């Protein structure tokens, strides 16, 4: 009788060990599957963000908008792509600010990296200020005024295929492993586009506006497609941050 009880006991232990092994295998499989799904979703989000950015830049390059984009204005894509939005930023200074902001937000969890980014930004601003013979404060004020003037020119001056603005398209989308609530990933692409392309006007409309303003003319039709050599949207910079 004792031998039978011992055999039953060993059988139960073996069953428990087997169950434990199966459980470990199942849990490991679920973990691998979950990681694969997260990686696939992340890759899908970055691919979609690039498609949105490149499509938006292509529309601007082709002059296919009826009105100029509003620099810095967020556009929600919630209905089609939940959690996604984008904005167009126009002007060298505004684009530099955007990139610096994204870099700072990406380094928000790393105090050393954040300080380094701030130092690099201040150094670059100081270098540009020196090249203009200005103090850092004067340069900041001048840059803000230039950005405002650039937006005003797009609205009032005759656009031209030979005048260019630095343009960036930033796409924001949810970060899958956020360090804090609301954190987003950001993808940015840049290009130099003609003011004629950005205005959305035809060359004939630009010419009439130039004549009405007493200007020398907006130039030929070739600039409607916009972009200088090297204004390829493929040159992209990306970062992570909260909008």
Tell me the per-residue pLDDT of 65-103, one tens digit each, with 9 for 90 and over.
888 888 889 999 999 999 999 999 988 888 888 888 888
Q: For residue 119, what pLDDT is reported?
A: 62
Q: Rounded to 5 degrees, what are φ and ψ at 32?
A: -65, -40
Annotate 88-115 with three-state secondary structure.
EEECHHHHHHHHHHHHHHHCCCCHHHHH
Q: Is 149 helix (H, G, I), strand (E, B) or coil?
A: helix
Does 191 have pLDDT greater than 60? Answer: yes
Dump pLDDT digits (tens) for 6-36.
555 557 677 677 677 777 776 766 666 667 7
Quick one: pLDDT at residue 45?
94
Provide the mean pLDDT of the chain: 75
* Residue 224 or 68, more confident: 68
User: What's residue 55's pLDDT?
Assistant: 96
Please report, in angstroms and rounded to a whole number, the separation of the first and last CA atoms in the chain.
74
| pLDDT score, position 151 | 63
* Residue 178 reports pLDDT greater than 60: yes
- Better-scored residue on pLDDT, 84 or 4: 84
184-194 and 85-90 strand pairing: unpaired
Instruction: Say what percent of the chain tops pLDDT 70.
Output: 65
Q: Locate the DSSP E strands across the chain.
A: 74-76, 85-90, 164-174, 184-194, 236-241
pLDDT at 60: 94
d(CA 122, CA 105): 16
Tokens, residue 66: 């009826």
Enclosing H/E stretch for 42: helix 2-61
pLDDT band at 224 (very low <50, low <70, confident <90, very high): very low
What is the C-alpha to C-alpha distance for residues 67 and 12, in angstroms, rounded to an integer?
A: 77
Backbone φ and ψ for 105, nearest 5 degrees, come out as -70, -35
Which residues are paired to 199 by β-bridges?
none
Measured CA to CA, the distance from residue 38 to residue 34 in angstroms comes to: 6
Burial per residue of 164-190, b for 16 or more beta-carbon CB atoms within 10 angstroms, e otherwise: bbbbbbbbbbebeeeeeeebbbbbbbb
Q: How many CB atoms lie within 10 A of CB 40?
A: 10
The angle at the Cα of 224, spanning 219 to 228, to the nearest 5 degrees, equals 85
pTM (predicted TM-score): 0.63
- Which pair of tokens denotes residue 140? 């900041």
In the predicted structure, residue 113 carries a pLDDT above the cut 60: no
Q: State mean pLDDT over 127-151.
A: 72
Q: Residue 121 pLDDT more than 80?
A: no
Q: What is the pLDDT of residue 82?
A: 92
Q: To which residue do tokens 């200007």 refer?
A: 215
SS3 label, residue 126 = helix
């Amino acid at each position: 009788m004792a031998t039978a009880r011992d055999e039953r006991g060993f059988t139960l232990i073996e069953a428990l060990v087997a169950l434990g092994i199966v459980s470990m295998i199942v849990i490991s499989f679920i973990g691998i599957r979950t990681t694969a799904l997260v990686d696939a979703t992340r890759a899908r989000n970055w691919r979609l963000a690039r498609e949105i950015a490149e499509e938006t830049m292509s529309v601007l390059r082709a002059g296919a908008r009826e009105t100029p984009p509003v620099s810095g204005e967020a556009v929600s894509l919630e209905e089609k792509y939940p959690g996604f939005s984008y904005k167009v930023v126009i002007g060298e200074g505004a684009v530099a600010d955007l990139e610096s902001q994204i870099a700072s937000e990406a380094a928000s969890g790393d105090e050393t990296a954040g300080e380094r980014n701030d130092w690099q930004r201040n150094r670059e601003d100081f270098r540009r200020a020196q090249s203009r013979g200005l103090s850092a404060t004067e340069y900041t004020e001048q840059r803000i005024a230039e950005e405002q003037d650039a937006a005003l020119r797009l609205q009032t001056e005759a656009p031209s295929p030979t005048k260019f603005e630095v343009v960036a398209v930033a796409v924001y989308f949810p970060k899958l492993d956020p360090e804090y609530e609301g954190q987003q990933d950001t993808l940015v692409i840049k290009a130099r586009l003609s003011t004629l392309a950005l205005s959305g006007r035809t060359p004939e409309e630009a010419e009439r506006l130039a004549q009405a303003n007493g200007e020398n003319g907006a130039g030929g039709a070739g600039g409607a497609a916009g972009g200088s050599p090297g204004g390829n949207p493929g040159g992209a910079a990306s970062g992570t941050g909260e909008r």
